[in-house]
């Protein structure tokens, strides 16, 4: 029953969740595309030392981007909760416990985050393919044979970070 209520709330409060969905989709796509840069550098066939240096820099920037995504989710969740304060109060007046209201909110966030993950990965895969050519142009090289790629490492890192950020959001 809580799942049905959460799904209905997401559809009904579409305007509030649309901004959240679009922002989170953009963040996921940038996060995925950003994490594939090490693979793109391999396509360009650079020196090993420079490749390792860039990998270290991008690892640090990945942590920064994850922190920004976490702040974004916590802020957006707080914004949505403030806008719907009266609705949550009505749920409690009708007999729902605070835990049940919190579960409904968590389910709503999970639904929107799941949709943003799927859309963000699809968009991020496309952006990362384009970034391969951009990376090659930065290093003044050409790509002889282009292969479509999907980075499972970047995918698992993106999903893992999104799950950790989601759990931190639930704690707040």
DSSP per-residue string spanning 121-169: HHHHHHHHHHHHHHHHHHTT---SS------HHHHHHHHHHHHHHHHHH
CA distance 46 to 49: 9
Per-residue confidence band for 131, with pLDDT thresholds at 50, 70 and 90: confident
What mean pLDDT value characterizes the chain? 79
56 burial (CB, 10 Å; 0-12 / 13-18 / 19+) is: exposed
pLDDT of residue 48: 63
Please determine, for residue 66, whether its predicted confidence score (pLDDT) is greater than 70.
yes
């Amino acid at each position: 029953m809580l799942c049905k209520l959460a799904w209905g709330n997401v559809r009904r409060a579409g305007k509030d969740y649309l901004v959240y969905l679009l922002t989170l989709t953009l963040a996921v796509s940038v996060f995925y595309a950003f994490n594939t840069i090490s693979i793109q550098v391999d396509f360009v066939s650079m020196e090993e030392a420079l490749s390792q240096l860039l990998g270290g820099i991008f690892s640090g920037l990945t942590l920064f981007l994850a922190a920004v995504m976490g702040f974004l989710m916590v802020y957006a969740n707080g914004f949505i909760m403030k806008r719907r304060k009266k609705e949550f109060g009505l749920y409690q007046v009708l007999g729902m416990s605070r835990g049940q209201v919190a579960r409904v909110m968590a389910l709503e966030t999970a639904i929107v985050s799941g949709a943003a993950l799927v859309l963000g990965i699809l968009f991020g895969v496309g952006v990362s393919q384009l970034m391969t050519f951009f990376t090659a142009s930065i290093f003044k090289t050409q790509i002889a044979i282009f292969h479509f790629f999907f980075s499972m490492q970047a995918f698992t890192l993106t999903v893992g970070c999104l799950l950790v950020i989601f759990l931190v959001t639930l704690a707040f």
